[in-house]
Amino acid sequence: MIEYPQYKKPFYALSKQNSQKVGFSFIRLITLVTILPILGIIAYIVFKGAGSITWEFLTAMPSDGMRAGGILPAIVGTFYLMIGTAIFSIPLGIAAGIYLSEYAADNRWTRLIRIAIVSLAGVPSVVYGLFGLGLFVLFFKFGISILSASLTLSIMTLPVIISTTEESLRSVPYRFRVVGVSLGGTQWQTIRRVILPQALPGIVTGIILGLERAVGETAPILFTGATFFLPHLPGSPMDATMALPYHIYVISTQVPGMPSGIQYGTVLVLLAFVLGMNLIASLIRSRARARRQW
């Protein structure tokens, strides 16, 4: 008979299952700790700001040196900036993403482009603002306007849209491209009819996240399109505009005797704007994932 060496379990050792349980609980705790501050901030803002959200607050012009009335011009302005940014950044971003993923060879030139995109994404937003001031406001003489601000925000948004477009296209399996071409499709026909529709949810998500960042930024519009106060809504792309993030800065620091309800209310509106977009992006993503065939 063979004698097997006996493994003696020390009395203090946890069983494997139990140590796994402890590990998982620990990870759960850490997760909770990370999301608590975010939940706290949102709860605090809702608590302080919800009271001042009325129909009038959302649809009226500011009055009494912005200490009363509504924030309509800031909401409308932010909306205009978003549309303007979308017009410039979406077509360019998608085109560049398609080029990089489908057509560009992997050489020094395209690697340089990729590095540029990554670095562009890391540039502080105030630098974009100054760049926009120099290029669009002064050089092209667009002035302090929705146009200048939208162009500036577009440059900031582009890297996000380009890289998410490229990533989404790359995640579509290569074999579909081979099949499309083998059936007599050109490369572009295959991309447009087969690959792009599969990548679209990812691209749309990227667009929304990019625009969301643009909508929430203050620095890039500070010198290029935002204005302190406007007695009317902007009438053309060449007008300056009020915008939610800048308006928050103004009413928090520049207006003495500002009622805090309006401040928190304005922040809440911006937060709802941004989180709402985020939510839409998540919905698109999860729905697309559920329907995906590969």
Partner 1 sequence: MPEAKITIRDLYLRYSDGKEALKHISLDIQPNAITVVFGPAGGGKSSLLKVLNRLIDLSDVEEMSGEVRMGKLDILERGLDVVGLRRRIGVVFSRPIPLPLTIFQNISFGLEVAGMRDKDELRARVEKALKQAVLWEEIYDRLDDPAASLSGGQQQRLCLARVLALEPEVIMLDEPTSALDPVSTAKIEEFLQEAKKDYTILLAPHNQQQAARMSDYAAFFLQGELVEYAGGSDMFMNPKDKRSQDYVQGRFG
CB nearer to partner 1: give 185 or 216: 185
Q: Which of 107, 182, 236, 253 binds partner 1 (CB under 8 A)?
A: 182
Q: Which of 7, 11, 12, 294 binds partner 1 (CB under 8 A)?
A: 294
**Number of residues in contact with partner 1 under rule CB under 8 A:** 21
x-or-dash pattern for partner 1, window 57-86, by CB under 8 A?
A: ------------------------------
- CB neighbour class for 182 (10 Å; exposed up to 12, middle 13-18, buried from 19): exposed
CB nearer to partner 1: give 118 or 183: 183
CB neighbour list of residue 81: distance below 8 Å, 6 or more residues apart = 146, 149, 150, 153, 214, 215, 221, 225, 241, 243
Residue 116 is a binding residue for partner 1 (CB under 8 A):
no
Q: Which of 130, 194, 255, 288 binds partner 1 (CB under 8 A)?
A: 194
Cα angle 137, 269, 219 (rounded to 5 degrees) comes to 25
Q: Which pairs from 258-262 meet CB under 8 Å and 24+ separation?
A: 258/66, 258/67, 259/67, 259/68, 260/48, 261/48, 261/49, 261/51, 261/52, 262/52, 262/57, 262/66, 262/67, 262/68, 262/71
Residue 186 is a binding residue for partner 1 (CB under 8 A):
yes
Residue 21 is a binding residue for partner 1 (CB under 8 A):
no
Residue 104 is a binding residue for partner 1 (CB under 8 A):
no
Residue 103 is a binding residue for partner 1 (CB under 8 A):
no
What is the C-alpha separation between 74 and 76, in angstroms, rounded?
A: 6
Count the helix, strand and coil residues of the chain and give each as a percent rounded to the nearest 5.
75, 0, 25
CB nearer to partner 1: give 52 or 190: 190
Which one of 144-152, 170-178, 246-254, 269-277 is the stretch in contact with partner 1 (CB under 8 A)?
170-178
Which one of 11-19, 147-155, 183-191, 248-256 is the stretch in contact with partner 1 (CB under 8 A)?
183-191
Q: Which of 14, 179, 238, 275 binds partner 1 (CB under 8 A)?
A: 179
Residue 176 is a binding residue for partner 1 (CB under 8 A):
yes
CB of 173 to partner 1, least distance (A): 9
CB of 168 to partner 1, least distance (A): 14
Residue 34 is a binding residue for partner 1 (CB under 8 A):
no
Site of tokens 């605090």: 44
Residue 112 is a binding residue for partner 1 (CB under 8 A):
no
C-alpha dihedral, 197 to 198 to 201 to 207, nearest 10°: -70
Residue type (1 letter), 40: G
- Give the residue among 113, 107, 59, 75 at the shortest CA–CA distance from 244: 75
CB nearer to partner 1: give 99 or 176: 176
Chain-centroid distance of CA 245 in Å reads 14
Residue 261 is a binding residue for partner 1 (CB under 8 A):
no
CB nearer to partner 1: give 63 or 186: 186
Annotate 37-74 with DSSP letters as a single string: HHHHHHHHHHHHHGGG--HHHHHS-EETTTTEE--HHH
Residue 106 is a binding residue for partner 1 (CB under 8 A):
no
- What is the binding site for partner 1 (CB under 8 A)? 175-186, 189-190, 193-194, 197-198, 292-294
